Structure 1
Amino acid sequence: MNQYQLPTPEKKPEYVKTNFDHIAKAYDRFNDWNSFFLHRKWKNWIIEKAKREIPDIKIALDLCCGTGDITSRLSRMPEILEVTGLDFSENMLSFAKQKIGEGKNVKLVLGDAMNLADFKNDSIDLITMGFGLRNVSDLKKCLLEIKRVLRPGGVFINLDVGRVRPFFLKWFADFYFFQIVPIFGYLIYGKKHEMFDYLPHSSTTYPDQETLQKILFEIGFSEVHFQNFVFGNAVGHVARK
């Protein structure tokens, strides 16, 4: 790993917000390149999983929605009456708006995933999050807010990085993630930018798949399970309130 230093928890929210604003124009291509387009398949998995877990979805909330990949997929589900995409990067939301358009069932709002005060208790059927949970400064606070606004029986589906399984592949995965992935970002963005170093390094303080499952159980979710993608490079967690 290179010598990049993560921001402190106190500085993390403003750091992440400001730097996501900077790289918004390159973010979609960066995701395509660094995942070899597989992130699209993983996000499709979220939708298919949601359909199986909650046949009667009416209201959905996509947190840390970024440029709207998951939000746009949710908006195309005919059974969903209302979709909200929330992010605290204005530039990311501007790209999401271009992608999604002005669909009558979609709202894109500026907000903080750790403070969902605009959403009532027990009001959301489905909450999704794609590669955003590791960017919050207080993971448990964020998960408690998610649990608060989910209706009883509602489902949270989270997609993020994981720990590579089996162990003998970990060296190769780490070399790619920490050394090669930032270079993709520099090339797409047109110059070096520290956010492309932050993104892989943020995984070092993020819980592995088993630990996150345990945390979700501890704060009161049930039926928590996860699915590894590409030996655990990415992981989808599903939790029911």
Structure 2
Amino acid sequence: MNQYQLPSQEKKPEYVRQNFDGIAKAYDRFNDWNSFFLHRKWKDWVVRKALEAVPNAKSALDLCCGTGDITSRLSKHPNLETVVGLDFSEQMLSYAFPKVEGKQVNLIVGDAMDLKQFADGSFDIVTMGFGLRNVSDLRLCLKEIKRVLKEGGVYVNLDVGRVRPRFLKVFADFYFFKIVPLFGYLLYGKQNEMFDYLPHSSKTYPDQETLKTILEEVGFTNVWFQNFVFGNAVAHVAKKAN
């Protein structure tokens, strides 16, 4: 595990797609185990805050939707007439379909950095759960998100953060880099480097304050964030100005 090397930025998109395909069957249980089921409450929070920010929202896009946890939560709200889940991995999406069966949800394969299938101002809400750190160009992805948002729309991003206070970091790092991959190996049935990638990808991902600054630089307004479990996970809320 200590010898794991992250893929280059050029190879990252294909690496992520192929390897998420490979671990799709174990991904939901992996999220439950490594977060002690807390990720479910965090995703509830994402949807709740998105709808509070845009009470009259009619449309929502869940990017890097994976197995559809946030997408399925969005689909339960009757005011949302259009709900789209988009992900790079076809296998991950195959596990999302049963969660939204019977709902008016469109699940599609796509690239979060290139949303050309959507016109400017298509959605009231854009969400993303543990996906932003997997894109190869974070600013490009955020610009695309801002483009497809309607004026007054909201973007809510859930991902890893930096532990606060700092004295807890040594314990958090031990768990994240040593224990979390072991959960993945056990659930998958054998070792798979994607379970090492997931914690190591946090090394190149901006901390809470830096991501807030980047969102503001891209053009979002009223940006704020909420830490969970001392900052092990963090949600950012950002508006597109009217």
TM range (shorter): over 0.9
Q: What is residue 78 of structure 2 aligned with on the other side? A: 78
**Structure 1 gaps, min length 5:** none
* Partner AA of 2:27 in structure 1: Y
Q: What is residue 235 of structure 1 aligned with on the other side? A: 234
CA distance in 2, matches of 1:134, 1:149: 20
CA distance in 1, matches of 2:151, 2:217: 17
2:112 matches 1:141: no
2:184 matches 1:196: no
Q: What is the CA deviation profile of residues 107-164 of structure 1, one whole-angstrom value per residue up to 9, with x for unaligned ones? A: 0000000000000001110000000000000000000000001011100000000000
Q: What is residue 5 of structure 2 aligned with on the other side? A: 5
Matched position secondary structure for 1:181: helix
- CA displacement at 1:225 relative to structure 2: 0.2
Q: What is residue 157 of structure 1 aligned with on the other side? A: 156
- CA displacement at 1:202 relative to structure 2: 0.2
Q: What is residue 55 of structure 2 aligned with on the other side? A: 55
CA distance in 2, matches of 1:5, 1:208: 20
- CA displacement at 1:102 relative to structure 2: 3.5
Matched position secondary structure for 2:77: coil
* Partner AA of 1:129 in structure 2: M
Matched position secondary structure for 1:188: helix
**Structure 2 gaps, min length 5:** none
* Partner AA of 2:222 in structure 1: E
Matches within 5 A, 1:1-241: 2-103=2-103, 105-241=104-240
TM-score normalised by structure 1 residue count: 0.99
Matched position secondary structure for 1:77: coil
CA distance in 2, matches of 1:56, 1:4: 46
- CA displacement at 1:172 relative to structure 2: 0.1
* Partner AA of 2:174 in structure 1: F
CA distance in 1, matches of 2:31, 2:221: 31
* Partner AA of 1:137 in structure 2: S
- CA displacement at 1:48 relative to structure 2: 1.3
Identical columns (%): 72
The aligned length equals 240
- RMSD over aligned Cα, in angstroms? 0.7
CA distance in 1, matches of 2:69, 2:51: 17
CA distance in 2, matches of 1:115, 1:47: 23
CA distance in 2, matches of 1:113, 1:148: 12
* Partner AA of 2:226 in structure 1: Q
CA distance in 2, matches of 1:65, 1:202: 18
CA distance in 1, matches of 2:97, 2:121: 27
CA distance in 1, matches of 2:201, 2:85: 23
Q: What is the CA deviation profile of residues 85-109 of structure 1, one whole-angstrom value per residue up to 9, with x for unaligned ones? A: 0001000000000222142x20000
